[in-house]
Amino acid sequence: MNKRWRDIAGCVSAILFMASCSVVAQQQPDAAAVVRGVDSSVKNRIDRLASYTVTEHYAVYRGKDETHQAADMVVKTTYRKETGKSYEVVSQSGGAVWRNEVLGTLLDNEKRMSQPSNVGTALINSSNYDMKLDANIHEQFNGRDCLVLDITPKHNSQYLFKGKLWVDAQDFAIVQLKGTASKSAFFLASAAEVVRQYDKMSGLPMATHAQAVSGSSLLGQTVVKIDYTDYQLQLTPGS
C-alpha cells in the first residue's frame, strides 16, 4: 500500500474511531448532568407556570374488568400558583362509594398536594428522589428520544414513587413516570401502582394520561384512569 492510500486509510480509521466514541458517549451520558437537567426542567415549569385550567376525565374500574365502569367523573380543574388546585365537577355517575371514597379522596389529596406549602414535597427532583441512570438508558417513547432513570424516594409519601422516570434526552423534560407509591393513601390496603404520561404544551411538560392500580380488603382491586384535555395555560410575564 502506497503512502497516499495509507494516509486515506488512516483518516477513515480516525473518523470511524471518533464516530464510535460519539456513540459510546451518547449511550453513557453523565448521570450527574442528567439529574441537574431534570432539576432545571422541573424548576423551569414551576417558575413559568402561573395558572392553568384543564378538563380531567376520571374512570373507575373494579377488579380486572376494564370494560364496565364502576364510576365516572368529569372535572374542570383550575390551578393557580398562589393557591393550588380547585375543582368543579361537570358530571358524574356510578356508585356513591366509588365517587366519594375513591374519586373524592383522590381529588382532596391532589388539592392538598398542590397547595404552595406542600407542592415542593411532591416534585420529581433530586431533593425528593435518589436518581440513577437505568441499565437501559436510551428508549423511544411516543416518538421521543428518552433517557431512563431509576428513582427512589428519600422519604415516605403517597405523592412519591419508587420506579422509573423517562425524560426527554434533549431538555430533560418529564415524559413518563411509572412506579409504586412509597406510602398508601389511607383508604387503600396496598400502595398504588401508577403510570403518568406527559406532553409538551407551551414548552412545559403537562400530564396527558394517568393510571393507578391499587387494592384493599374492602374494595378489592381498583383501577383509576385519568385523561387530561383542553389545557389553557397562563405563563408568568416575561417567561
In this prediction, residue 219 carries a pLDDT of: 65
In this prediction, residue 220 carries a pLDDT of: 73
Say what the alpha-carbon torsion angle 37, 42, 43, 45 is, to the nearest 10 degrees.
130
Q: How many other β-carbons are positioned within 10 Å of the β-carbon of residue 90?
A: 12
Dihedral sign for Cα atoms in the order 95, 215, 162, 66: negative
Q: What angle do CA 143, 147, 149 make, to 5 degrees?
A: 135
In this prediction, residue 191 carries a pLDDT of: 63
User: Measured in Å, how far apart are the chain's first and last C-alpha atoms?
Assistant: 62
In this prediction, residue 27 carries a pLDDT of: 57
DSSP one-letter code for 104: I
Question: Within a 13 Å sphere around the CA of 119, how many CA atoms are in the beta-carbon half?
Answer: 16
In this prediction, residue 69 carries a pLDDT of: 92
In this prediction, residue 101 carries a pLDDT of: 81
In this prediction, residue 19 carries a pLDDT of: 44
Say what the alpha-carbon torsion angle 180, 73, 61, 188 is, to the nearest 10 degrees.
40
Please name which of 60, 89, 92 lies closest in space to residue 73, comparing C-alpha atoms. Answer: 92
- From first to last of its 239 residues, what are the pLDDT tens digits of the chain? 554 445 444 444 444 444 444 444 455 789 999 999 999 999 999 999 999 999 999 999 988 778 889 999 999 999 999 999 999 999 999 988 889 888 988 899 899 999 999 999 999 999 999 999 999 999 999 999 999 999 999 988 878 999 999 999 999 999 999 999 876 654 444 568 899 999 999 999 999 999 998 876 666 788 999 999 999 999 998 76
DSSP one-letter code for 192: P
User: Cα–chain-centroid distance for residue 54?
Assistant: 17
Beta 193-201 vs 204-216: how paired, if at all? antiparallel
Beta strands in the chain (DSSP E): 49-62, 71-80, 84-94, 129-141, 144-153, 161-168, 174-181, 193-201, 204-216, 220-235
In this prediction, residue 222 carries a pLDDT of: 86
Tell me the pTM: 0.83
Please name which of 42, 49, 54 lies closest in space to residue 227, comparing C-alpha atoms. Answer: 54
In this prediction, residue 28 carries a pLDDT of: 74
Q: Which helix (H) or strand (E) holds 66?
A: none
In this prediction, residue 152 carries a pLDDT of: 97
Among all chains, which residue has been given the C-alpha cell 398536594?
A: 113
In this prediction, residue 159 carries a pLDDT of: 85
Q: What angle do CA 26, 27, 31 make, to 5 degrees?
A: 90
Amino acid at residue number 148: V
